[in-house]
Amino acid sequence: MVSLKSFIAEVLDSSQEAEKTAPAGPVAGSGPQIPEGARLIPREEHAISRRQISEPALQVLNGLHRAGYQAYLVGGSVRDLLLGREPKDFDVCTDARPEEVRKLFRRNARLIGRRFILAHVQIGREIIEVATFRGDGGTASGSAERSATGRILSDNVYGSFQEDARRRDFTANALY
């Protein structure tokens, strides 16, 4: 079994080699738009199969894609799939705002959270957590809504894929 640390090192090394030969930006007609700075790992280079992803998670991803949004599996489920384990749940990150996710999935979606609003999409017995890409302008710039005591009440600062990736720590949370 490959350790996560060695896998990440291998991906980073191959990413640097691919940057030298790959065209800049997404290629038209080649599938989903890949954000600048991201690298799509070809199927032959990883062991993840769509059959390993739950049907409800695929329905959420495909529904968002059909509606014109970016959507990616993120976090622990990606880590577990890379390590050959069965994920306990699936989280999705998208450029759709929570209200747009609720509108798209209607009765199956509800919004949760106080500081940062998330959508829970329930399909059958499974709940898929859908988060909007977060920007890096929130609490750092002081633009977050605060109470009189300074407690953050709301920091719904939405951003791009790149901002969301930069904001995440370098752990399983940063795996897309």
Catalytic (active-site) positions: 89, 91, 169
76: tokens are 């622990």
- What count of other Cβ atoms lies within 10 Å of the Cβ of residue 165? 19
Whole-angstrom distance, CA of residue 117 vs CA of residue 138: 14
The H helix count followed by the E strand count for the chain is 5, 7
- The percent helix, strand, coil of the chain (3-state, each to 5) is 40, 20, 45
Distance CA 135, CA 23 (A): 27
Neighbours of 100 (CB within 10 A): 17
